[in-house]
Structure 1
Amino acid sequence: MKSSRLVSILLLLQTRGRLTAAQLAQELEVSVRTVYRDVEALHAAGVPLYGDAGHAGGYQLLAGYRTRLTGLSAGEAEALFLSGIPGPAAELGLGSALAAAQLKLRAAVPAELRDQADRMRSRFHLDAPGWYAPDEEVPYLTAVADAVWHSRVLHVRYRRWKEPTDVDRRLEPYGLVLKAGRWYVVAGPGPRTYRVDQILEIVSEEGELAEEFEPLEDFDLAAYWQRYQADFHARLYGGEALVRLSPRAAARLKGPAARALADSGTVEPDGWTRALLPIESTDHAHGDFLAMGAEIEVLGPPELRARMAATADALAATYASG
């Protein structure tokens, strides 16, 4: 709705300062032409909004002007209450702060929004970790979070998967990410990604003696993490397998395999689907495809097909002897 978009423009300029029409359009997911029309509407309404042309130009509100149009909609109130995940907040040492903030928010919103938010909390619960992920100790999470917040260098003893496993690292922590119940710190130089639960020791000084670093001005944590995940999946699935799948097996595929099936799958006259699926390695594919039993036929690569056939022969011999 236009009225909601106009309020969003005011709040964006109030909280961020000068923004270009292109930046506003990206935030609001509209065209630049729409932003121009909205700015004209705000001018007509008497809002002290002005713009400067040029490379360093953009729109901004007159100094000292602040809008009071900050009331929450029902959906916004529900989203705010739903976004407070107590587990991660407690791990960061913010459990009591989150509870206090939600209490204040609940007292501030109108009664009808309070009822809707309470109903949302009673019917939806967010549990980030996976079913089979063990509860891992993350003893240095609070210290890492503090270093992120205050731009302090960390000298750590870190355990990695390859030899030598235990190494010393100097980290400039840019941000923390919680993924599937596991905490990661994104740090320079690089930047690179480290699992916080694999930090064995922090040996850097604290307080006033701690070395500080200058955060990268153009670093976008969310954008970095999106690129990191894309690169991770590209490296993870370094091979491909040509297979035939029964309708039942095709319906069971998930993730990258399901997307590959949708992109490359061809249904054959017998109802089975021929597709080129991404695989991590021959070992991983062998185990994954065996779980499908007779619902899959591996056509290639030859070494994977030969290994599947050998396993099938061994299974047949085992059950025939019984």
Structure 2
Amino acid sequence: MRADRLISLLLLLQTRGRMTAQQLAEELEVSVRTVYRDVEALGTAGIPLFGEAGHAGGYRLLDGYRTRLTGLTADEAQAAFLAALPGPAAELGLGEVLAAAQLKLRAALPAELRERAGRIQERFLLDAPGWYGNGDETPHLPAVAAAVWGRRVISVRYRRWTAPEEVERRLEPYGLVLKAGRWYLVAASGGDPRTYRVDKILELRLLDEEFSAPPGFDLVAHWQAQLSDFHARLHTGEAVVRLSPRGVGRVREQLGHAVADAVATTGALDADGWTVATVPIESIDHAHGEFLKLGTDLEVRQPQSLRARIATTVRTLAARYA
């Protein structure tokens, strides 16, 4: 364990520069006294590491010193090759860079780890888009990525769902997110950050203007909050449904996890062996289309407006196919 910690300490100083003993202790989850001992051990081993006293002091490596030691375990080497997505990297204009980086990483690995990394690429493939994705064109993605990286303001013409459908926006791009094969831009336009689909950008100009993200802005935390808010707003109502045994088995596949979990939690068998449950719905229109997927294996009890809507659809279909 101590050897791993010494390697981690060395790599922290190599990647971050000067760090205090307290900062190192927090990163390594050890005491400050342990950091002092580890620093002394590295110095004894010949690592050109020195400390500076004072408020702005800390430990750092001699300028120009770089170690070729990566400290990768077998599992870490496998994960590094498994996590590299060639499709998204190519979309960002980094396909060749990714290939070169993987080549260098492979060359730096010991023979055993190199062989295991090769097996990962031979046997596993991460394909992010869903089966029914349209492969949306994102011609402006490299320019958006460059703006995100350089903290440059952009002016875009954007197509949205509501009228007016095409709008002009001045955006401060904070970050990019790849979700289910689709790229999203988190950016501010004179207020709090909002989310934009990159494939809906019709025109883009990179402005000669820089910006700074708000202090403490965290892209991961922001995105998680957006997802939580989305799911909270997604299901705004409830319906009471009656499901056949076969319907219960098809719920998760056809209607999703939220409905399936509700059936498992609230469901109760009636005298005919069917399950009566209260499930969340997004809207009457949405539930109408979703519940029809189960055909005769699902009956809506409540609300009456949804029951009447489905009954009308069934009568129309019966007349049409008579």
Structure 1 residues 167-186: aligned runs within 5 Å = 167-186=167-186
Q: Residue 157 of structure 1 contacts residue 200 of structure 1 at CA under 8 Å; is this kept in 2?
A: yes
Q: Which amino acid aligns with 2:109?
A: V
Q: For residues 318 and 159 of structure 1, do their structure 2 counterparts lie closer, same or farther at Cα, with a shift above 3 Å needed?
A: closer
TM-score, normalisation: structure 2? 0.81
Q: Residue 13 of structure 1 contacts residue 61 of structure 1 at CA under 8 Å; is this kept in 2?
A: no
1:194 aligned onto 2:192: no
1:60-111 residue CA offsets vs partner (Å, 9 max, x unmatched): 9623379966321111001111111111111111000000000111111011
TM-score, normalisation: structure 1? 0.81
Partner of 1:80: 80
Bigger mean CA offset, 271-280 vs 92-101 = 271-280
RMSD: 3.2
Q: Which amino acid aligns with 2:224?
A: Q
Partner of 2:219: 221
- Inter-partner Cα distance in structure 2 for 1:265 and 1:23: 52
1:26-54 residue CA offsets vs partner (Å, 9 max, x unmatched): x78xxxxxx355x554444545899x9xx
1:313 to partner: Cα distance: 3.5
1:285 aligned onto 2:260: no
- Other structure's SS at 2:126 match: coil
- Other structure's SS at 2:210 match: coil
Q: Tell me the matched-pair count.
A: 302
Q: Residue 9 of structure 1 contacts residue 24 of structure 1 at CA under 8 Å; is this kept in 2?
A: no
Q: Residue 244 of structure 1 contacts residue 296 of structure 1 at CA under 8 Å; is this kept in 2?
A: yes
- Other structure's SS at 2:125 match: coil
Partner of 2:239: 241
1:63 aligned onto 2:74: no
Instruction: State which of 296, 299, 311 in structure 1 corresponds to 2:298.
Output: 296
- Inter-partner Cα distance in structure 2 for 1:106 and 1:247: 53
Q: Residue 14 of structure 1 contacts residue 61 of structure 1 at CA under 8 Å; is this kept in 2?
A: no
Q: Residue 156 of structure 1 contacts residue 171 of structure 1 at CA under 8 Å; is this kept in 2?
A: yes
Q: Which amino acid aligns with 2:135?
A: D
Unaligned runs of 5+ in 1: 29-34
1:132 to partner: Cα distance: 1.4
Q: Residue 9 of structure 2 contacts residue 24 of structure 2 at CA under 8 Å; is this kept in 1?
A: no
1:231-260 residue CA offsets vs partner (Å, 9 max, x unmatched): 122222222211122333223222322233
- Inter-partner Cα distance in structure 1 for 2:202 and 2:268: 50
Q: Residue 129 of structure 1 contacts residue 182 of structure 1 at CA under 8 Å; is this kept in 2?
A: yes
- Inter-partner Cα distance in structure 2 for 1:225 and 1:264: 31
- Residue identity over aligned pairs, in percent, reads 55
1:287-306 residue CA offsets vs partner (Å, 9 max, x unmatched): 11111012112111111112
1:269 to partner: Cα distance: 5.6
- Inter-partner Cα distance in structure 1 for 2:130 and 2:77: 28
Q: Residue 238 of structure 2 contacts residue 278 of structure 2 at CA under 8 Å; is this kept in 1?
A: yes
Q: For residues 24 and 169 of structure 1, do their structure 2 counterparts lie closer, same or farther at Cα, with a shift above 3 Å needed?
A: farther
Structure 1 residues 1-322: aligned runs within 5 Å = 4=4, 8=8, 11-12=11-12, 15-16=15-16, 35-36=29-30, 39-45=32-38, 46=40, 62-64=59-61, 70-188=70-188, 189-205=191-207, 210-252=208-250, 253=252, 254-268=256-270, 270-318=272-320, 321=322
- Inter-partner Cα distance in structure 1 for 2:21 and 2:184: 33
Unaligned runs of 5+ in 2: 43-49
- Other structure's SS at 1:292 match: helix
